[in-house]
Amino acid sequence: MPIVNIVGLTLLAIFLLFIVSKKGKNVSDLLLAIVALLFACYLISDIWIQKDVSIWSFAFQSIVSFILFFPFLLYALILIDPSHRIRNVWWWFASFDVVFTLFILTDLFVFNDYNTVDIERLYLDPPLRYHFFYKGHMIYNIILIFWYLKRLKKYQLKIKDYYSNIEEINLQWVRYFSWAYFTINLVSLTTFLAYNFGLIKNIEIPFFAINVAFVIWLFYLIYSGIKQYSLANFSEPNEKKGENVKKKYQTSSLSENEMDNLFNSIRQLFEEEQVFHDPELKVQSIAKRFGVTTHNISQTINLKANKPFYDFVNQFRVEELKKQLINPEMKKYTILALGLESGFNSKASLNRVFKQHVGQTPKEYQVAFSSSKIQD
């Protein structure tokens, strides 16, 4: 695997160059750079220990493989946190890594005097105390990833209340990586237990496959992180002094009559000015139009339309696209062009959203309408 590692280190160097050269770096960029650096250390440690199983290579690989998860968790958490700042409570998630690091340093360099043969035995057939940390770390990772996935799901539901296009900020790639990391830890734990109980005689092949999968998914994480367009911000618009703001909408919740009036105004805005044509339409821009808070707009649409802002806006876009698809004068344009004109920002999003609302893709809808006209 050294060749794979060398290629990986080359790609990581390129990735790090992109991250470092990015203008306006924020905390998430720095955390992604740390993940990339630790990933590079992980690849280096694998090359080192394959060539020389020593006390230093063993310590280096053990510590790096343990502490790699924590920066990823911080990175993933900060992406979905409204403040986009590291919270003090999150540092407790590193407690297991800190305890293991202290354990391995004291075990290798303080309490014991290991020779090369002892280190090779530790590496190939670790004693029970090492198994406690190895398997405990996998279980710890599984629990934290599962906990994070629940928070990520809440985030993905939340952004639908504030954004009309969420493809760039829904963090599906973080979700995919988290599930992959969850699966890798679960498979690793199962494989090691099966080996300990004699159900698997040779662990090298499954361990190699797990390691390759882990490396591939780490590259996916870093590549996707670099491509990340922007972070969602749930903060309400700042209302400057002197701004004409309707006082009746400044409370956290509106009366039934106020909400009805606001919803009617929103519908009128969408029907007459067709603001849904803007692919980057946000609750914040609607709130500014009416001099209310983003919470007021989100709350009103959710309660009166019984759907989040994302679905509310896309319903108008779908209806607009349906009209364009059956308009004979629009046949000279592609479906993508009509979709973009209707407010969608990509072919993938217009196909997915249209099918969710209509039950057919735009092409299927257009063909079905043409067929029904011919039969008539």
**Digit-coded pLDDT (tens) for 304-340:** 999 999 999 999 999 999 999 998 888 889 999 999 9
The predicted model gives 293-305 an average pLDDT of: 92
Residue 276: is its pLDDT beyond 60?
A: yes
Q: What is the pLDDT of residues 181-205, one digit of tens each?
A: 999 999 999 998 888 888 888 777 8
Q: What pLDDT does residue 100 have?
A: 95
Residue 241: is its pLDDT beyond 80?
A: no
Give me the residues paired with residue 163 across strands. 282
Percent of the chain's residues with pLDDT above 70: 92
SS3 53: coil
Distance (Å, whole) CA 355 – CA 351: 6
Q: Quick count: other Cβ atoms within 10 Å of Cβ 61?
A: 21
Distance (Å, whole) CA 139 – CA 308: 36
The predicted model gives 97-111 an average pLDDT of: 94
Sorted by sequence, the CB contacts under 8 Å of residue 185 that are 6+ apart come out as 138, 141, 142, 145
Side-chain half-sphere of 15: how many Cα atoms within 13 Å?
27
**Where are the chain's structural domains?**
2-227, 246-306, 311-376
Would you identify the CATH topology of the domain 311-376?
A: Arc Repressor Mutant, subunit A (1.10.10)
Residue 231: is its pLDDT beyond 70?
A: no
Position 253 confidence tier, pLDDT thresholds 50, 70, 90: low
Backbone angles phi, psi at 282, to 5 degrees: -125, 160
Amino acid present at 272: E
- State how far the alpha carbon of 166 is from the alpha carbons of 59, 69, 151, 172, 281, in Å: 43, 27, 17, 10, 11
Candidates 3.30.460, 1.25.40, 2.30.30, 1.20.1070; CATH matching 2-227 = 1.20.1070
Residue 235: is its pLDDT beyond 60?
A: no
Which of 142, 114, 164 is CA-nearest to residue 301? 164
Amino acid present at 83: S
Residue 156: is its pLDDT beyond 80?
A: yes
Q: What is the maximal distance between C-alpha atoms in the chain? A: 90
Q: What pLDDT does residue 196 have?
A: 82
The predicted model gives 83-96 an average pLDDT of: 91
Average pLDDT, the chain: 87
Q: Quick count: other Cβ atoms within 10 Å of Cβ 177?
A: 21
Residue 109: is its pLDDT beyond 80?
A: yes
Which of 165, 161, 164, 163 is CA-nearest to residue 298? 161
The predicted model gives 226-231 an average pLDDT of: 65
Residue 236: is its pLDDT beyond 90?
A: no
Q: At what angle do helices 347-358 and 309-325 cross, to 10 degrees?
A: 90
Phi-psi region of 129 (alpha: psi -120 to 50; beta: other; left: phi over 0): alpha
Sorted by sequence, the CB contacts under 8 Å of residue 176 that are 6+ apart come out as 220
